[in-house]
Amino acid sequence: MLDLQKLETFRMVAVTSNFREAASQLGYTQPTVTFHIQSLERELGVRLLERQRFSKTIAITEIGRRILDYAERLLALAAEANAKAAAFKRSRSRTCAQ
């Protein structure tokens, strides 16, 4: 089962092209970001990112671009579901307070 937290980490690394910046944006440590990416790659059985050690640049692979599209859609759906649940809770609490 895909983990939304790891997908968000992958999305942020893809957007920033930098593990350290992704970690900073997400409030994680760099090792946590590395763990999330490695874990996601292991789970999917594909390399999502190409890391260049000496230049410290990151390039998203072809399959990584495809997975990123799915990740963005899944994260958007999760945010929508959370928003619907929150709206429902608010409407229920107003009904119960009356």
Task: Please tell me the pTM assigned to this model.
Answer: 0.87
pLDDT in tens, 2-52: 999 999 999 999 999 999 999 999 999 999 999 999 999 999 999 999 987
Alpha carbon 82 to its chain centroid, in Å, reads: 16
With cut-offs at 50, 70 and 90, classify the pLDDT of residue 57.
Answer: confident
Q: Which helix (H) or strand (E) holds 49?
A: strand 49-52
Give me the pLDDT at residue 95, please. 65
Q: Which helix (H) or strand (E) holds 34?
A: helix 30-44
Rounded to whole angstroms, the Cα distance separating 30 from 21 reads 9
Question: Domain residues of the chain, as ranges?
Answer: 4-97
Second-level CATH architecture of 4-97: Orthogonal Bundle (1.10)
Q: 45: helix, coil or strand?
A: coil
With cut-offs at 50, 70 and 90, classify the pLDDT of residue 85.
Answer: very high
Give me the pLDDT at residue 2, please. 92
Name which of 9, 30, 10, 18 is nearest 56 in CA terms: 18
